[in-house]
Chains A and B, each alone.
Chain A
Amino acid sequence: MTLLDIVLFLPLVGFLLLLILPKESSRMAAMVLSSVIFVVSLGLLMPYWFQYPSGHTFSTDVQWISYPPIRYHVALDGLSLWLVLLSTLLTPIAALVSWNYIDKRVKEYYAFLLLLEFGVIGVFISMDLFLFYVFWEVSLVPMYFLIGIWGHERRIYAAVKFFLFTMAGSVLMLGAIIFLYNRTGTFDYGQIQGMIQTGSLVFDQRTELVLFLAFFIAFAIKVPIFPLHTWLPDAHVEAPTAGSLMLASVMLKMGTYGLLRFCVTLFPDAAHRCAPWIAGLAIIGIIYGALVALVQPNMKKLVAYSSVSHLGFVVLGIFTFTQQGLDGAVYQMLNHGISTGALFILVGYLYERRHSLEISAYGGVATPAPNLAIIFLITTLASIGLPTLNNFIGEYLVLQGTASANFGWAVFASLGVIFSACYMLWLYQRTFFGRASESLSHHMPDLTTREWAAILPLVLLMVWMGSFAQTFLPSISVQNAAILEQTKKLRTERVAIPARPVAEVSRANR
């Protein structure tokens, strides 16, 4: 049993513990448990301290089910490491922002939060396709309840839509996973990857395309990529603050993670052939998301559409198949987790004070609540991509990678950066500037200690990630280089294959 197993199963233990503990103590218990999990998970950084191993660390591989051979195979690499840490960091923060906001069925709420953490950590570290699918589905259930029970007015519609969209995509992925198993006799990602590398597993073009699409659609729904994004605004608007936070910061990353980890490396040829189309969809998503965000009267919807736009960059970065593009995409996953998460928290703070998500209900908030205004400003600037704040690095890398792959794409994508400045600054202006009405300044106390405690870590991370990207990027780059190598090598081999039959034919003619 490694540290990684402990980090994975502690939330499950916490979930069961919360079910047993009395109702009154569940807030505190969840807070303590999730903080402990975060501290323990920091231990995962050990192998990555001043060195950048390229392979797996903390690997556990034991048999779970004898036939078909499904293994409990979890491991950490440069890609999963940061996503796991993001999940463990955001769970205590989610627990903290829910402190006063959640007043009914508190016990179930925190229990589901920990179950969600269990699911998402599992997704990021599974090295067995089947295990991955299990965690993928397991993470769906708690989120469904979080939205459906503790959400706003149209919560039921949003929760069911969320569940059905994801389910519809993932059953196709299950079909593809079974197909892969039937061809290879294993669910182990590493082994299947190895077979593809050595050429002992070759698909014809059509099969590969179908398999690629089965995986791709499942992930695209989760990311979400235009035009499969329609569930996202509903889910975000209706979810409670912590639900939006976990959804945006962690669960959407499951989609982009899946694209990078499985889609691209298992079906490189199809991925390369589809890349222009997907990049096109990503660019449409970037611009469309930004434009729709611009006209939203509802703050949460605005942030939700800005997510569609931001995640367009991530997808674009992945499908440039360049080192910078991939690095930027992964970095942008983390950035989006931090800055959009912070935005959702701040919108939640405003909502708790004024009980409205309409932008028109605000104005002049900066006067009664200056600290809130400053934090909101930093987060806004981070989200826009101001240098020295985190998003800048990610967006820059993605755009650089895109430019080297296809300059036209980069031109269109950079429009998104400009638009993001428009909608975010306009939001900030309408909310915080101007004269505060009497009733508003009455109900607008500044940040409390608890609120500071929840938001400050994220703000510090924005600065850190924007100024000292060196802390994070090397371990990510090493992993991305490996992924890139896998896709590249295959492509050259694959191109060489048609040559052989031609040669045979010509020999036969002779």
Chain B
Amino acid sequence: MPIANYLPTNVDYARFLPELILTLAGVLIMFLEALRPEGKRSNAGLLSILALVVALPAALMATPGPAFQGMLVIDGMGTFFRTLVIVVGLLVVFSSTDYLRRENQESGEYYALILFSIVGQCVMVTANELVMIFIGLEISSIASYILAGYLRDDARNNESALKYFLLGSFATAFLLYGVAWMYGATGSTNLTAIRASLISGAPPPEALIGVAAALIFVGLAFKISAAPFQGWAPDVYQGAPAPVSAFLTVGPKAAAFAVLLRIFLGSLEPIASRWAPAIWVCALATMVVGNFAAIMQSNIKRLLAYSSIAHAGYVLVAVAANSGTGSAAAMFYLAAYAFTNIGAFAVVTYFSRKGERYVAIDDFAGLAQRQPGMAAMLTIFLLSLIGVPLTGGFFGKFYIFKAALDSKLIWLTVIGLLNSAVAAYYYLRILVVMYFREPGESVETLPPAGALLQIAVYGSAVGTLLLGIFPSLVLDFANRAAIR
């Protein structure tokens, strides 16, 4: 075949446009940062917002189809997740600016790293090829390792980054090893080809495929902080800068779930009877571990970290359902959770002040009396995390458990529902402190919130409520885009 057949065409570039825009913007920010005179304020934040705003329609309107010889595929699911991570990026940038200024760390590379991480996630969610998934994962992870330790003089930041990096690389190695096994077993790294080989007349030995699937699952389970691979998450999320924690709990997680859905519900669906029990157990353990550990926490970031583990467990229930509705439910849930959690972390970002002094739950005492607006927003986010109707979190849970019941996972549903009642307890504790206690020193000294941070908080709240009152907006999209 002539070499010209392998050269990318304009169509390929058009389908890859969001990633191109974000990469270019990231590189440009790095250049401008180097040329920036000492003492002049960086406008990298503005530039990254601009890039994300331009990338958003590019992602939404990308024409479906394969790109780069089928390495990437722009399908409904790819579009859904690409849009999601870009929106996540926007909200995170909005909530970061004030934070960086407060910590005197306002420099361009932060935004460049966020953009690069999002590019990696975009590649992950559109990849139709195990090697591309790996590359996307690495691009995303390396940027997030640095982000987790962004305040380099802060001991907790360093701990967070080191833990994340060491365990993360270890997990990626598992994934890569799994990819190698998969290639050995099926002779391909292309997801479509793997499926074809599994349903062909002469499928590869099940044991071989089983090992490959297990290794890949371990690698991804780490990224989504599923039990028993969740140990790193609380330390990392607690130690990282608050806006970065917000980013880490939703962006890379959503991308890793997209990959999980694509590989397991897509390619490996023919051997579902083998992996489904493993995910069943994993989902159960993740919900229980996350919820019961969260009950004990007194630090709000750590509490949200454990809660993020628990929520990964709920999404795994949807994966265990192994159906089209399950996949759509997982997508909806991730979207709702993204808005909710970024919002909650944005309020924590605002409240914690310089050096993150105020992150104990008790510090929030009486917030409702001094800052009723912010307290009301945090209430919306917490109610959504509990799963109270008219918030996105409720419909997310509802769709997930509905999908699970469709697939006859009755016990998993019952335990999941009871888990969400347990979860109500620790989220309520924050509400109790905020509304039922008298304000203390931490609340009395609270300055008003900056405009950009307010955009992040109110934007997330609007998203949370919108998904709670008109869930069809996103769910119809998710249903069309769902695998199978």
Q: Is residue B424 contacting chain A, with contact meaning CB distance below 8 A? A: yes
> Of B389, B390, B414, B475, which contacts A175 at CB under 8 A?
B414
B88-131 vs A, Cβ < 8 Å mask (1 yes, 0 no): 00000000000000000000000000000000000000000000
B252 CB, min distance to chain A CBs, angstroms: 29
B425 CB, min distance to chain A CBs, angstroms: 6
Task: Tell me the nearest residue of chain B to A171, going by C-beta.
Answer: B417
Give Cα A159–Cα B372 distance, bound, in whole angstroms. 20
B102 CB, min distance to chain A CBs, angstroms: 30
Q: Is residue A481 contacting chain B, with contact meaning CB distance below 8 A? A: no
Please name all residues of chain B whose beta carbon is closer than 8 Å to the beta carbon of A65 when the two chains form the complex. Answer: 470-472, 475
B181 CB, min distance to chain A CBs, angstroms: 38
- For the residues of B in contact with A, the DSSP-based class is helix
A151-179 vs B, Cβ < 8 Å mask (1 yes, 0 no): 00001100110011001100110110011
- Choose, from B21-29, B56-64, B399-407, the stretch at the interface: B399-407
> Of A108, A155, A156, A175, which contacts B413 at CB under 8 A?
A175
Q: Is residue B435 contacting chain A, with contact meaning CB distance below 8 A? A: yes
Task: Tell me the nearest residue of chain A to B388, going by C-beta.
Answer: A137
- Choose, from A141-149, A291-299, A412-420, the stretch at the interface: A141-149
Please name all residues of chain A whose beta carbon is closer than 8 Å to the beta carbon of B394 when the two chains form the complex. Answer: 137
Task: Tell me the nearest residue of chain B to A181, going by C-beta.
Answer: B402
Q: Is residue A359 contacting chain B, with contact meaning CB distance below 8 A? A: no
> Of A66, A138, A163, which contacts B472 at CB under 8 A?
A66
> Of A149, A171, A178, which contacts B435 at CB under 8 A?
A149
* A164–B475 touching, CB < 8 Å: no
A105 CB, min distance to chain B CBs, angstroms: 7
**Residues of A166-216 whose CB lies within 8 A of B:** 167-168, 171-172, 174-175, 178-179, 181-182
> Of A66, A171, A179, A181, which contacts B418 at CB under 8 A?
A171
* B472–A178 touching, CB < 8 Å: no
Q: Is residue B281 contacting chain A, with contact meaning CB distance below 8 A? A: no
> Of A66, A133, A155, A164, which contacts B425 at CB under 8 A?
A164
Q: A141-B383, A145-B435, A178-B401 are in contact. Are A167 and B424 (CB under 8 A)?
A: yes
Q: Is residue A67 contacting chain B, with contact meaning CB distance below 8 A? A: yes
Please name all residues of chain B whose beta carbon is closer than 8 Å to the beta carbon of A105 when the two chains form the complex. Answer: 369
> Of B369, B383, B401, B436, which contacts A155 at CB under 8 A?
B436
Give Cα A205–Cα B372 distance, bound, in whole angstroms. 51
Give Cα A108–Cα B369 distance, bound, in whole angstroms. 10
Q: Is residue B421 contacting chain A, with contact meaning CB distance below 8 A? A: yes
Task: Tell me the nearest residue of chain B to A155, going by C-beta.
Answer: B436
Q: A175-B413, A179-B405, A182-B402 are in contact. Are A167 and B435 (CB under 8 A)?
A: no
Please name all residues of chain B whose beta carbon is closer than 8 Å to the beta carbon of A498 when the two chains form the complex. Answer: none
* B432–A160 touching, CB < 8 Å: yes
Q: A137-B388, A182-B402 are in contact. Are A171 and B432 (CB under 8 A)?
A: no
Q: A66-B476, A67-B472, A155-B436 are in contact. Are A134 and B389 (CB under 8 A)?
A: yes
* A168–B402 touching, CB < 8 Å: no
* B428–A174 touching, CB < 8 Å: no
Q: Is residue B398 contacting chain A, with contact meaning CB distance below 8 A? A: yes
**Residues of B397-448 whose CB lies within 8 A of A:** 398, 401-402, 405-406, 413-414, 417-418, 420-421, 424-425, 428-429, 431-432, 435-436
A interface residues, tally (CB under 8 Å): 33
Q: How many A-B residue pairs have CB under 8 A?
A: 81
Give Cα A19–Cα B233 distance, bound, in whole angstroms. 39
Count chain B CB atoms within 10 A of each CB in A105, A135, A178 and give the residue with the most: A178
Q: Is residue B479 contacting chain A, with contact meaning CB distance below 8 A? A: yes
B327 CB, min distance to chain A CBs, angstroms: 14
Please name all residues of chain B whose beta carbon is closer than 8 Å to the beta carbon of A145 when the two chains form the complex. Answer: 435
Give Cα A376–Cα B432 distance, bound, in whole angstroms. 35
> Of B372, B398, B476, which contacts A174 at CB under 8 A?
B398
Q: A105-B369, A163-B424 are in contact. Are A138 and B390 (CB under 8 A)?
A: yes
Q: Is residue A501 contacting chain B, with contact meaning CB distance below 8 A? A: no
* B406–A182 touching, CB < 8 Å: yes
Q: Is residue A68 contacting chain B, with contact meaning CB distance below 8 A? A: yes
**Residues of A350-370 whose CB lies within 8 A of B:** none
Task: Tell me the nearest residue of chain A to B402, going by C-beta.
Answer: A178
Please name all residues of chain A whose beta carbon is closer than 8 Å to the beta carbon of B413 when the two chains form the complex. Answer: 175, 178
A63-89 vs B, Cβ < 8 Å mask (1 yes, 0 no): 001111000000000000000000000
Q: A67-B479, A164-B424, A174-B398 are in contact. Are A156 and B432 (CB under 8 A)?
A: yes
Task: Tell me the nearest residue of chain A to B475, going by C-beta.
Answer: A67
Please name all residues of chain A whose beta carbon is closer than 8 Å to the beta carbon of B472 when the two chains form the complex. Answer: 65-67
Give Cα A141–Cα B386 distance, bound, in whole angstroms. 12
Give Cα A334–Cα B401 distance, bound, in whole angstroms. 37
A124-140 vs B, Cβ < 8 Å mask (1 yes, 0 no): 00000000011101101
* B420–A171 touching, CB < 8 Å: yes
A166 CB, min distance to chain B CBs, angstroms: 10
Please name all residues of chain A whose beta carbon is closer than 8 Å to the beta carbon of B428 when the two chains form the complex. Answer: 144, 160, 163-164
A165 CB, min distance to chain B CBs, angstroms: 10
* A133–B389 touching, CB < 8 Å: yes
Give Cα A168–Cα B421 distance, bound, in whole angstroms. 5
Give Cα A239–Cα B457 distance, bound, in whole angstroms. 32
Please name all residues of chain B whose beta carbon is closer than 8 Å to the beta carbon of A66 when the two chains form the complex. Answer: 472, 476
Please name all residues of chain B whose beta carbon is closer than 8 Å to the beta carbon of A67 when the two chains form the complex. Answer: 472, 475-476, 479
A18-41 vs B, Cβ < 8 Å mask (1 yes, 0 no): 000000000000000000000000
> Of A134, A171, A174, A182, which contacts B390 at CB under 8 A?
A134
Task: Tell me the nearest residue of chain A to B420, going by C-beta.
Answer: A171
A330 CB, min distance to chain B CBs, angstroms: 27
Give Cα A145–Cα B432 distance, bound, in whole angstroms. 9
Please name all residues of chain A whose beta carbon is closer than 8 Å to the beta carbon of B369 when the two chains form the complex. Answer: 105
* A156–B398 touching, CB < 8 Å: no
A498 CB, min distance to chain B CBs, angstroms: 26
Please name all residues of chain A whose beta carbon is closer than 8 Å to the beta carbon of B389 when the two chains form the complex. Answer: 133-135, 137-138
B373-402 vs A, Cβ < 8 Å mask (1 yes, 0 no): 000000000010010111000100010011
13 residue pairs from A and B, CB less than 8 Å apart: A66-B472, A108-B372, A134-B390, A135-B389, A140-B388, A144-B431, A155-B436, A156-B432, A156-B436, A168-B421, A171-B418, A178-B398, A178-B401
Interface pairs A-B: 7 shortest CB-CB:
A134-B389, A171-B417, A168-B421, A66-B472, A137-B389, A148-B436, A178-B402
Instruction: Tell me the A residues contacting B by CB distance below 8 Å.
Output: 65-68, 105, 108, 133-135, 137-138, 140-141, 144-145, 148-149, 155-156, 159-160, 163-164, 167-168, 171-172, 174-175, 178-179, 181-182
Q: A137-B394, A138-B390 given; name 5 further pairs at CB < 8 Å.
A: A134-B389, A137-B388, A164-B425, A168-B418, A175-B401
